[in-house]
Amino acid sequence: MIPVLGYEGQTVAVLGLGRSGLATARALIAGGATPLCWDDSVEARERAQAEGFACADLSRDASWEGVAALITSPGIPHLYPEPNRHIAKAWEMGVPVDNDIGLFFRSYAAQGWGEFDTPPRVIAVTGSNGKSTTSALIHHILKVAGRPTQLAGNIGRGVLDIAPAQDGEVVVLELSSYQTDLARALTPDIAVFTNLSPDHLDRHGGMGGYFAAKRRLFSEGGPERAVIGVDEPEGRSLANQMGEGPADDRVIRVSAERKLGGAGWSVCVRKGFLSEMRKGRQVAAIDLRAVRGLPGAHNHQNACCAYAATRALGIAPRLIEEAFASFEGLPHRSQIVAEIGGVTYVNDSKATNVDSAEKALLAFDNIRWIAGGLGKEGGIEALKGALGHVRKAYLIGFSARDFALQIGDLPYEICETMEAAVARAAEEAEAGDTVLLAPAAASFDQYPNFEKRGEAFMAAVARLGE
């Protein structure tokens, strides 16, 4: 646990009592503060009270007496599409609003660090797609290199739940736009921006607000090094803002689409080969084509970002290449779950939007595509250009019939359920085909989250061999 600093002897309100909220309450107590908890869910309040935390209705003015700050869970909207009523009350009462990420950055460094030979470091990763894989890959590289490391944030453990730092440790944080948007302190040593595509636009008031939330990771704390994907205009703009000139190697530019030149530091991939460029010269290269845990161009971009971040720590290319070869990937993200009769079954349940689904569709050949769920604004018409490798679509969930109208002349079958879709795809698949779950939709019509949807796919595949 990371004890929260700066609130000793004070009362701090905690809004939202899920995983991060309860971890925040515990960390506040460890730092000498008194948490005052609230959640609109009766069940959540009962869990907090069972743990000994005091709860008070934050809609009442009297509850705010003596409150030094409000710490809100990242999932609670604070501004768009409309302010949460409790956060609006904090504004009215003049109480500063923060989240657990802000508390982490103000509390992680401790007095004992003066005795360390190598100061601990923090790598923070954000972006629309690939941030989970990039974070996990960085963590894996560090372990292979023998560096003490912890993985937290939007993946793994909550940021305040991790153990206090040890000599030379590197903490890797995956941070969503919900987490970066409100944190009052954001001071990573290395910040990584993978890419940007439309997502969560209602929460951020549009694309500009969404990018602004991501950009805060770089603008608020001024990281020592910035690894920035430059395949979108926003990334190129951010890299330009962070650099002081063409040769400024504090910015490492990353591309999965083209060769990057110039006098600076860059990492790019072309035709499956990763190249590190310094001062206009190639200084290292890795063949990614046979790396089973990183299939497709989108994972090659993740590899570039992880490579750049760990090279910024001084890890040798040889060790990074060794780590790539042993990386197994993450569950529900281009996860190869079985090979039956020459047919490969791939679980990419995390592909909940058009952009991530497109990347999955371009990563494999001879695809029998399972898609559908609770469709997002705009549907999947933007995917028409990525369907060249798809032999047939098997559509499930609430938006199945809408998706059928948006895929042009592609053969399809409306299967409704995951079990039916897997069975029909397996029945029609031939050796060399890939049965790919890449829903391009949210899961909430049939499953509580994308993980449960992916587990349902894997269970259906497992039954094929029975």
The binding site for ATP consists of: 127-133
Residue given tokens 């046979």 in the structure block: 290
Helix boundaries (H) for 100-247:
100-107, 131-144, 177-180, 201-204, 207-219, 233-242
Contacting residues for 456 by C-beta, under 8 A, at least 6 apart: 418, 419, 447
- Reading the block at residue 100, the tokens are 């657990």
Q: How many CB atoms lie within 10 A of CB 246?
A: 9
Nearest to 54 by CA among 88, 17, 94: 17
Q: Name the residue among 158, 162, 157 with its Cα closest to residue 120.
A: 162
Tell me the torsion sign for CA atoms 138, 144, 145, 149.
positive
What is the dihedral angle through the alpha carbons of 70, 76, 79, 83, rounded to the nearest 10 degrees? -80
Tell me how far CA of residue 373 lies from CA of 195, 199, 336, 394, in angstroms.
24, 16, 21, 12
R_g of the chain, CA atoms, integer Å: 23
For the chain, how are helix, strand and coil distributed in percent, rounded to 5?
35, 25, 40
Q: Which one, of 128, 117, 124, lies nearest residue 139 by Cα?
A: 124
Strand partners, 268: 255, 275
Which residues make beta-bridge pairs with 32?
Answer: none
Other CB atoms within 10 A of residue 112 CB: 11
Length of the chain: 466
Q: Give the count of alpha carbons within 13 A of 395, CB side only.
A: 18
Could you tell me which residues are beta bridge partners of residue 225? 190
- The closest alpha carbon to 51, from 85, 80, 25, 90, belongs to 25
Could you give the CA distance from residue 276 to residue 285 in angstroms, rounded to a whole number? 6
Residues annotated within a binding site: 127-133
Residue 406: phi and psi, rounded to 5, are: -110, 5
